[in-house]
Amino acid sequence: MASIRKSNCEETASLPVSQNRLSIVVALLSFSVFINYIDRGNLSIAAPMLKDELHLSGSQLGILLSSFFWTCGMFLVLSGWLVDRLNASWVMAFGFLLWSAATGVTGFLHSFTAMLVARLFLGVGESVAYPAYSKVFSKYFPDSQRGFANSLIACGLACGPAFGMLLGGTHASSANRSTFNNYGPLTVHELFPRVIKTFL
């Protein structure tokens, strides 16, 4: 009886999608979390230069570095509620657009308050990521493939900060601005192929 119940659960949890489509989906989602973790960590790369440029105190820098996590943590619950009730593709699209815009404009900001607002919006945008990934995996991926799919997400999670910190350190002289200006548009370019390939 338990095996029948489990089989029924697996059937209802996964919609029929071709293997090629699933491969594209997981590659795009993994790339998105790679960019996600570059975006959320780039301020720490530029922090020493921004502290001098904007004349920030240690407490102000601490507020900027932690502010992302305030809104990301608070909005995770709302994001999960939204992906359960709305089309996950459009929830992801809104989140990706918001976080890429917040990252992109950060390179043009020159005050503590403006950067704080941008970081708070970045947290809101990135809060959609994991609830949306979970929804996509449960809806489209069979149980036998979810472990590997989740491992690719975790790979993007680890490689994003590694790549971002290496690149930011290599170009340290301009990292305080170019890091934000380059990664924001990159997320926008990655946004629309994801939505099309995943759900259309």
- In-domain check, residue 35: yes
Whether 42 contacts 168, CB under 8 Å: yes
- Greatest Cα pair distance, the chain, in angstroms, is 67
For residue 174, pLDDT beyond 70: no
Helices (H), 18-57: 19-54
The CATH number assigned to the domain holding 176 equals 1.20.1250.20
Helix 19-54 to helix 112-126 angle, to the nearest 10 degrees? 160
Residue 186 pLDDT grade (very low, low, confident, very high; cuts 50, 70, 90) = low
- In-domain check, residue 109: yes
Report the alpha-carbon distance of residue 74 to residue 198 in Å, rounded: 27
Report the alpha-carbon distance of residue 157 to residue 40 in Å, rounded: 11
The confidence score (pLDDT) of residue 197 equals 47
Structure confidence by residue, pLDDT tens digits, 53-92: 788 888 888 898 899 999 999 999 999 999 999 888 888 8
The reported pTM is 0.74
Counting the structural domains of the chain, the total is 1
Structure confidence by residue, pLDDT tens digits, 93-143: 888 888 888 887 877 878 889 989 999 999 999 899 899 988 988 888 888
Q: Which residue has the higher pLDDT, 176 or 144?
A: 144
The confidence score (pLDDT) of residue 185 equals 52
Domain span holding position 34: 19-199
The confidence score (pLDDT) of residue 123 equals 92
